[in-house]
Amino acid sequence: MGLVEAQSVGDATRYTLHPGVAEAGRAEAENVVQEAVDIELTVFWETGYRHGLNEETHGGGPWIVRAGRSAAPYLLRRQQWQKAAFLLEQLIIRDESLETIAVALPWLRRIARATEGLEQGLENAGLLAIALRKAGRVSEAETALRDIMHRAATQGKIRTASVMAGEIINWFRTVGRAEEALALVEKIKDFTQRAGLGPWTQLSDEGRRLQLLHDLGRYEEVLHAVEALQTHIHVLPEESQHEERVAPWNVREVIFDTACNAARALERWETALTLNAEIIASKETRGAPVLDVAKTRFNDYGPLLRLGRAGESRTLLHTCRAIFEAKHDIEMLGRVFSALADLEDMLDHPVQAIDFGETALRYTYLAGHPEACAIAHHNLSNYLQRAGRDRKVALAHRLAGGVIHWQTSSGSLISTLQNLVRDFAACAPDLPPLPDDFAEVCRLVEAVEGVRFCELFEHLPRRVTTGDAALAAVLQGAQEIAQHMVQ
């Protein structure tokens, strides 16, 4: 009659009541029935969480995610705020999709309000701030994270201060503020040691340092450090004798991923593929979300392409693109279109390379990450030049990337300036006219739909205060490199 629906779930059968029947049953049941149901289901999902944690390296990860999402309503009704906060924290660590963060945010707000002023209040407010950052509400999140870090340190809640400092570092990395983030690393290391946290948490702090060194272009330093750490990482017991604020698998994957990125930057392609295969295997073994695994697989496209395996690279990119579109991942769509442009360029298909390059630029501006925008401008400039398009437009895109790199003190600045010098050398003696000023650079690059370069500049770190000053600094830097090359 449609009042009960039977569904096969593996070897079992799930029975789903019609919403009207379920509502009528709830209305007639006394509170004691609701309380009994809440208790039993809380126990069930807590058991599911423990099972998932014990089996995480053997595919138990989805149980942790499901337990955190499913247990929260029952725990909140019973006002078991800390249990709910803990399981939700485990949830958003393992599943950072916008859908999951959107589900968790109202619950985390409720927990933060209910525990304000209590012993765990600051920690819960910090968890809410972390979720806001992952949801893309960056201004609100940064203000909250800084406030909570200072309050926690003042109140002697060093562990909470350590977590907040780590989140601030993560955010600074995302928006191209690597130098500021590196200055915070020693602070977080001090917090971690004062809090008595264990070796995996301390290793995690070192992992953050390595990521920042990579962001600043210090690749050899990264590889050397990871080589020195490998034995320590492999012998460190999974079960720590001290309190840890991190999952061992996550620390390992982050450190080896950083080394893999450094290997790619140094064009050690086989090394990069070998390191990435280990990370993929780790993620698949612990049952990481499909999106997470796809992001890691995506990293193989460059090494495959540079090793002459273009067919494998193209298949990989289209497989990843389908997953990123299904999951509405804007940042990764920008990266996959950039990769497709790279592939078409290497295959000498200039029109396709430009089309994909412009699409990549639009997505990177939607995502709002300055370093990615600079790289996309740089790449599009290359494709335009090789296709024989308007050289002034190509130069404007190169300059836009240089301005972003200048303001963010990016490790890619030197290569950008060197490319500018090569651009001028290639065009001599028939040099294209320079843009009149920063406003003209904005006008030329913003001809690509969705590009808001002038607006992006206003949110960058203020190494110099105006766009014209940044443009002049980039041109001066290129001139100095040219003079050095002549000498």
Q: Which of 318, 233, 240 is nearest to 278 (CA)?
A: 233
Residue 213, domain member (yes or no):
yes
User: For the ranges 153-162, 169-178, 364-373, 374-383, which has the lowest average pLDDT?
Assistant: 169-178
Q: Which domain holds residue 225?
A: 196-285
- Cβ 63 vs Cβ 85: under 8 Å: no
Looking at residue 1, its pLDDT comes to 47
Q: How many domains does the chain have?
A: 2
CA distance 363 to 449: 10
More confident residue, 293 or 59: 293
Residue 347, domain member (yes or no):
no
For 436-487, write each residue's pLDDT tens digit: 899 999 999 999 999 999 999 999 988 899 999 999 999 888 888 877 765 5
Percentage with pLDDT > 90 across the chain = 47
Residue 202, domain member (yes or no):
yes
Say how many C-beta atoms besides its own lie within 10 A of residue 190's C-beta.
Answer: 15
What's the rounded mean pLDDT across residues 164-178? 83
CATH number at residue 62: 1.25.40
Give the tokens for residue 253. Answer: 């994957």
- The H or E element that residue 457 is part of is helix 453-458
Average pLDDT, the chain: 87
What's the rounded mean pLDDT across residues 219-226? 93
For 64-116, write each residue's pLDDT tens digit: 888 888 888 989 998 999 999 999 999 888 888 888 899 999 999 999 999 99
Looking at residue 270, its pLDDT comes to 94
Select from 233, 262, 285 the last residue of a domain. 285
pLDDT greater than 70 at residue 294:
yes
Reply yes or no: is the peptide bond before residue 429 cis, omega within 30 of 0: yes
65 forms bridges with which residues in the sheet? Answer: none
Looking at residue 17, its pLDDT comes to 63
pTM across the whole model: 0.57
Question: Do 203 and 95 share a domain, yes or no?
Answer: no
- Cβ 319 vs Cβ 290: under 8 Å: no
pLDDT greater than 60 at residue 208:
yes
Residue 152, domain member (yes or no):
no
